[in-house]
Structure 1
Amino acid sequence: MNLKIPLKRRGFILGALTTAIGLFAGAVPLIRKEKGMLTVRRSNDRGLANHGWLKSRHTFSFAEYYDPEHMHFGPLRVINEDRIAGGSGFETHTHRDMEIISYVIDGALQHKDSMGNVAVIKPGEVQRMSAGTGVLHSEYNDVPDKDTHFFQIWIMPNKRGVAPGYGQKSFETELNTQKLVHVISPDGKDGTIGIHQDADMYISRLKKSETLDFNIGDERRMWLQVVKGDVEVNGEKLAIGDAIAATDVSVANIKANEDSEMILFKLP
């Protein structure tokens, strides 16, 4: 796969890397701890990048989008909702010291990296790449007439300089039969994919009027990103693309006002 991307697109990629490296240490938390704090992040308040071949919404500061009030949430550094046009993609580029997670919503994403992995990520599949000491990789949508819609998530590791690693798994069966599916964990147990951080990621699909009590626990924080649908979280109404952060809240009571899908994070 020989991807040719104009220099300005390379600058976009390098800008993202520079931002990530610069923020790894000393970044200011998104939310200061106050008892029972819920903070809503509306979809249209996110950063927007339109490169023609790539349309991206940035939850946190990324590349040319900079907002000092939205740098990260604990170790959760990036949530980008990306749409890649057919026949386009990211040419080979470098990452270091970051846990990079991709979750495909629609279409397919071709992946190739310097560890020798060549894969296609399909809807319902989660991919994790531990960049560690350094990884080269590319991502591409080779279907000419269909966009690839996916979320790319970066989580800062709790240890730098680890050996690079890769994991990929389909959770589609579980997502169609369970309200809440645990997909990312610190230890990789019970069918999850492990990362180098004390953080967990879940995916939930709820039918209209279904409810879910998500146990956050003590000394943990939650970030919930709405992928599809319309939900209420502890009385806060959230539409597609919206998100909510919870600090010092032990349980998130979730109700789906229509068929909905969410990505949830439990964080230190």
Structure 2
Amino acid sequence: MITPRTAKQCGKADYGWLQARYTFSFGHYFDPKLLGYASLRVLNQEVLAPGASFQPRTYPKVDILNLILEGEAEYRDSEGNHVQAKAGEALLLSTQPGLSYSEHNLSKEQSLTRMQLWLDACPERENPLVQKLTLSDGPQQLLASPDGRNDSLQLRQQVWIHQIELEKGQQLSFQLHGPRAYLQSIHGTVHAVTATEEKEGLTCGDGAFIRDEANITLVADTPLRALLIDLPV
């Protein structure tokens, strides 16, 4: 079963220094029916104005994946560690209890645009505090996984995150690990085909809940960039 979650249905914020779209409850946006999906707690697309910053804050034990679409960011923690990531890179923060983290747009002229995901972390697992990955140009790249296979970022959870880049008319098939997944269009239009249905296309910013499908085929109706988040747990 595939259930769309269009960009128009998502929560939104415009603070001047920050423009955001929230798939799930976040900040001022609250929907008791949308507190996350399986271990996916947050899926935001946010634009920080030139020179803008998120001030230090603490987090629950989550893995935070930042996919930088435009600009360059610096992430700092309260122990003095800092790391930078720019467009074409993904950065994974394994948050720790008692530490605070901040985010800064390094440019005074250019906005910073990124996708951010929070994933619940298994309490008994510890990974490197920071991991970084260069995004490839291929049709499919495994961005993150539980075991770091194929040079992916290593998560503290049973989740597989794929970046998909297809030309119009191209398609990709996936065998999912379990009963749940989430599809997010970053730009372009895509439709999904399963053994039982074919859904109309999702366009830029739209997402879809995928339930109880062992296999799914994604067909690009236009040039496409998207995320497929495989969430068996």
Do these two structures clear the TM 0.5 threshold for a shared fold by scoring above it?
yes
Cα displacement (A) at 1:115: 4.8
**Secondary structure, counterpart of 1:44 in structure 2:** helix
| 1:25-44 paired onto structure 2 within 5 Å | 37-44=1-8
How well do the aligned residues superpose, as a CA RMSD in angstroms?
1.7
Partner of 1:204: 164
- The percent identity for this pair of structures is 28
Amino acid at match of 1:69: K
| 1:42-53 paired onto structure 2 within 5 Å | 42-53=6-17
| Aligned counterpart in structure 1 of residue 187 of structure 2, from 213, 228, 233 | 228
Cα displacement (A) at 1:145: 2.1
Partner of 2:44: 80
| Aligned counterpart in structure 2 of residue 179 of structure 1, from 130, 135, 139 | 139
**Secondary structure, counterpart of 1:190 in structure 2:** helix
Cα separation, 1, equivalents of 2:122 and 2:77: 23
Alignment length, in residue pairs?
227
Partner of 1:102: 66
- Is the contact made by 1:71 and 1:77 (CA closer than 8 Å) also made in structure 2? yes
Q: If each structure's helix is expressed as a fraction of its own residues, which one has the higher value?
A: 1
Cα separation, 1, equivalents of 2:205 and 2:31: 18
Matched, 1:124 2:88: yes
Cα separation, 1, equivalents of 2:7 and 2:122: 29
**Secondary structure, counterpart of 2:151 in structure 1:** coil
Matched, 1:134 2:98: yes
Cα separation, 2, equivalents of 1:134 and 1:169: 26
Cα separation, 1, equivalents of 2:48 and 2:206: 21
**Secondary structure, counterpart of 1:227 in structure 2:** strand
Cα separation, 2, equivalents of 1:182 and 1:43: 24
| Aligned counterpart in structure 1 of residue 134 of structure 2, from 158, 170, 173 | 170
Amino acid at match of 2:147: D
**Secondary structure, counterpart of 2:150 in structure 1:** coil
| Aligned counterpart in structure 2 of residue 193 of structure 1, from 142, 150, 153 | 153
Cα displacement (A) at 1:181: 0.5
Amino acid at match of 2:179: R
Gap regions ≥5 residues in structure 2? none
- Detail structure 1 runs of 4+ shifted over 3 Å in the superposition: 114-117, 160-164
Amino acid at match of 1:191: D
- Is the contact made by 1:133 and 1:161 (CA closer than 8 Å) also made in structure 2? no
Q: TM-score, normalised by structure 2?
A: 0.92
Partner of 2:54: 90
Cα separation, 1, equivalents of 2:54 and 2:187: 25
